[in-house]
Structure 1
Amino acid sequence: MWKVISSKMFWLYAVAVFAVLAIFSFAQIGARNSVELKQLPIAVVNASGNQQSKKIISQLEDKFSDSDAQLKLIEVKKESSLKQGFNDKKYYGAFVIDKDFDKSLTSQQDYLKGLVIQAKTKDVPEQALAANAQLKTQVEAAKTMTQTLPTQAKIRVITNQGMSAQASSAVTTALPKIANALSQGMSQKMQGVLKENNVTLSSNQWQIINEPVKVTTQVKNKIPNKSVSGMAPMLLVMLSWMSALIGSILLWREHKKRAENGLFTLSTINSQMITGIVLAIVASLSIYFFAHTVFGVPVPDAGNFILILMFNVFVFYLIQTCILDWTGFIGWPLVVLIMLFSMGVISYPKEMLSPLYLNGIYSWTPLRFTMDMYTNGLYINGTSSTMTTDLTVLGCVGLGALVLIYLSSLLKRKEK
């Protein structure tokens, strides 16, 4: 036992274990532990556009003006623009002030004023009222103001759930909290006025004073049930990468055995490409079968989504085959590391990542574009402009890997 412990190889193994654990910890624990809600784009729609609602928008903008603020408010003129904005993943949510918001607040203020006048004049004799024209006018106006209960001002909070399950959860908590705080502030002011003037209220009247602003929530691009709590896109990315990883190493070894002197010819590389295409088809159909048919993950457009799977699996195959053709089996750990580092960051919105993980991993990993495509295919109920960008970037990456695969054979044969 002591001979093993005192040997150099034992300590080399110990260092290797430490290095592997350090890499895993940095890639998985570090990425998740450094996540912070910051600068999430939120659309703000002021459908009322009058003085009081403008003041509220101004206060919100001041509240989130710092670069470290949790939310980044983006003014949108028309609510009709939100749908495409959600589909294009411009906004994680929206704060919508109803068109009758200012009208409702004005009616509440008038009602409150009427109650105060009635409380102050309830003990004034009728003869005194008749003798004072101004006071009589005020009493009559107060009666008119309090004839009907005022309506609650309305604010709607909309979350773009399909864009990101993590961000949606944060937005669902943050935005209603802001709106409710606004309502509570107004309620406290009104209650202070009522208490100061000894005004008593009925239960119906109290409901309006206690909750002057009614906050409702809506969900757009809703994540359906059986979507693994919104993690389905990330898990499909992992399955796609793993299927390409296993397929590329097995096909590379098979072609290496059959290659003359271990050198790939043009015919060998052509065979790699053809078998890679077949692999992508088989892997994609298998992923779809297990995810959708066996485990019930909802897929809105099966045909289109299978094509997306095939495209991404084949691009991953090209990337991994390129590394293997250039470096041999020694490059296999690099392929594993790409997935390991990527999976720790792609499940979070880029706005929630620390600069280290955002610039050090998220900025270069091709898996984030696949994650975006799968999210579009599963959750975004409409055409997303980001799909074109994803296809273009991954297509260029795949084309670059394809060129390098053919160059590796030509250069190595020339060196030989």
Structure 2
Amino acid sequence: MQAKEKKLVLLAPVIALLIVFVFSLTLFPSVQVKPRQLPIAVVNEDQGVEISGQPKLNMGETIVETIRQAPTAPGEEPAVEWVVVKDEDAARQGLNDKDYYAALVIPQDFSAKQASLRTPSPSSPELRIYLNQGLNAAAATAAGQVLNGVVDTLSEKIRAQVLDAFQAQGATLSPDQAAALAVPIAKKVTNVNEIGTKSANGNAPISLFQPLWMASMACSAVLFLAFGKSAASDRKRSLATKLVHIGAGAVVALLVGFGFAWIAEAMIGLAIPQFVDTALFLALAFFSFFLLITAVVSWLGLKGIAVFALMLFFGAPLLALAPEMMSPFYRDWIHPWLPMRFMVDGLRELFFFGKGLSWNHAVAALTWIGAGGAAVTLASALKSGAAEKRRRQDSAFR
């Protein structure tokens, strides 16, 4: 075995371990996921109750104060950010505006019904819980677990208080009172902006991202090869070639947008509530990604594709997570810079929030990304023109 071959043999495990290490980094965002400052709305509509010989009782206010002052471990962010909202309608609007992952509503008669648990005609108070599935199914589930824990803890406290009061009075429970104390607080859970049954458990927007991103990389590479040689001419011809290059990408984007929407609905079986709007949005996302990738490739060559391949591997795991469930590093330094998150956000609105294609945050962001990519791509014509000018000068000199 020659020296060169021996070096390659020794280098093989080093390369293999390096690749394993690099791609293991993609697993970090999904390990030990836990909520941090998950926004949950809380509404207190409780009107309180007057009890003879005692100050007015308003259990709703007590509940709000208790949950907002819940202790957290030193040095850790609280799991929940409780946002007090004036009424149930405002909370529902906040859920539709993607401000909250869940909402807890304390109704007007909560205190009155709790007080009735000590009377011969008891009636269990009820808390209403809303889970915003469409915003992020995993985060909504985590919020639901937090709220269920709050209700269960309150139920235990109320049960203990009522039983202590009966014991102090030497009274016995009637069948109705015993039944009411079995569930001291009833809870009504409602899913809003539901993900439905044909949405890959709410992950349809993330599922559609990867094929579209890979297709945009492939299209950028193919069209770069197709137009690359003709672009290396004088400045005017190079600029015209770049415009044709971009126009070809726009045509492909429309074909991919409608074709991919049809495949997702007819072959994969995803529910596409607004087919044309979804197809146009997919076309916009593809064209935006195509222009972004083409801009880099125009200056760096095909090796620039590697940047977007790495972005795919390292960015994809983050797209399924709510920002509030990421570590601070990924939440503050990685997630905000991922262009594909705007595609996922836009598809969530189309799939789960019943909103059509409009000039929203996702559409605006993708448009500006595409516009920036187009500008940088056209600017590369200046590079081509300058290179051609130098080549001619060198030829004339020789």
Partner of 1:130: none
- 5+ long unaligned stretches in structure 1: 112-145
| Structure 1 residue 189 displacement after superposition | 1.7
How many correspondences in the alignment?
Answer: 376
Match of 1:79 among 88, 100, 103: 88
Does structure 1 residue 56 correspond to structure 2 residue 63? yes
The aligned counterpart of 2:145 is: 173
Q: Which residue of the partner structure matches residue 393 of structure 2?
A: none
Structure 2: tracts of 5 or more residues without a match: 49-57, 389-398
Seen in structure 2, the aligned counterparts of structure 1 residues 255 and 156 have a Cα distance that, compared at 3 Å, is same
Query: Residue 17 in 1 paired to residue 16 in 2?
Result: yes
Shift of 1:82: 2.2
- TM-aligned CA deviation for residue 150 of structure 1: 2.0
Change (3 A) 1:383 1:309: closer
Whole-angstrom distance in 2 between the partners of 1:398 and 1:174: 40
Q: Which of 1 and 2 has greater Rg? A: 1
Q: CA RMSD in A?
A: 2.3
Measured in 2, the distance between the counterparts of 1:18 and 1:34 equals: 24
Shift of 1:65: 7.2
What is aligned with 2:55? none
2:64 maps to amino acid: I
SS in 1 for 2:172: coil
Deviates more, 1:45-54 or 1:259-268: 259-268
Contact 1:184 1:210 in 2 (8 A): no
Identify if the C-alpha distance between structure 1 residues 37 and 60 changes in structure 2 by more than 3 Å, giving closer, same or farther. same
Deviation at 1:252, TM superposition (A): 1.0
The question of whether the paired residues in 1 share the 8 Å contact of 2:47 and 2:109 is answered with no
1:245–1:320 CA contact under 8 A, matched in 2: yes
Bigger mean CA offset, 261-270 vs 83-92: 261-270
Question: Contact conserved, 2:281 with 2:357, CA < 8 A, in 1?
Answer: no
1:273 aligns with 2:246: yes
User: Distance between the aligned counterparts of 1:384 and 1:106, measured in 2?
Assistant: 50
After TM superposition, the structure 1 = structure 2 runs for residues 15-414 of structure 1, keeping only pairs within 5 Å, are 15-27=14-26, 29-50=27-48, 51-63=58-70, 68-109=77-118, 111=119, 146=120, 149-260=121-232, 265-382=238-355, 388-414=360-386
Deviation at 1:64, TM superposition (A): 6.1
Letter in 1 for 2:153: A
Give, in angstroms, the shift of residue 270 of structure 1.
Answer: 1.4
Give the Å deviation of 1:253.
1.1
Q: 1:346 touches 1:371 (CA, 8 Å); kept in 2? A: yes
Is 2:238–2:384's contact at 8 Å kept on the other side of the alignment? no
Please state whether the residue corresponding to 2:318 is helix, strand or coil.
Answer: coil
Amino acid at match of 2:186: K
Question: Partners of 1:345 and 1:211 in 2: how far apart?
Answer: 39
Question: Residues 255, 190 of structure 1: CA spacing in aligned structure 2 closer, same or farther, 3 A cutoff?
Answer: same
Aligned partners of 1:319, 1:391: CA distance in 2, in Å? 15
Aligned AA for 2:314?
F
Task: Give the whole-Å Cα distance in 2 for the aligned partners of 1:338 and 1:242.
Answer: 11
Distance change >3 Å, CA 363–CA 12, structure 1 → 2: farther
Paired residues of 2:230 and 2:238 also in contact (CA < 8 A): no
Secondary structure (helix, strand or coil) at the match of 1:363 reads: helix
Shift of 1:165: 1.2
Q: Which moved more, 1:367-376 or 1:257-266?
A: 257-266
**8 Å Cα contact 1:160-1:222 kept in structure 2:** yes
Alpha-carbon displacement from aligned partner over 1:71-104 (angstroms, at most 9, x marks no partner)? 1100010111123211211000001111110111
Distance change in 2, residues 1:360/1:10 (3 Å): farther
Amino acid at match of 1:63: A
TM-score of the pair, normalised by structure 2: 0.88
Q: Is the 8 A contact 1:40 1:92 kept in 2?
A: yes
| CA distance in structure 2 between the partners assigned to 1:393 and 1:320 by the alignment | 16
Greater CA drift, 231-240 or 44-53: 44-53
In structure 2, what is the Cα distance between the partners aligned to 1:337 and 1:156? 44
The 2-side partners of 1:155 and 1:64 are apart by 22
Q: SS where residue 35 of structure 1 aligns?
A: coil
Question: What's the offset of the Cα at 1:383?
Answer: 7.3
CA distance in 2, matches of 1:224, 1:195: 49
**Separation of aligned partners in 1, 2:227 and 2:379:** 17
Distance 1:273 1:382, change over 3 A: closer
Q: Distance in 2 between matches of 1:286 and 1:384?
A: 18
The DSSP-based 3-state class of the residue aligned with 2:89 is helix
So what's the TM-score if we normalise by structure 1? Answer: 0.84
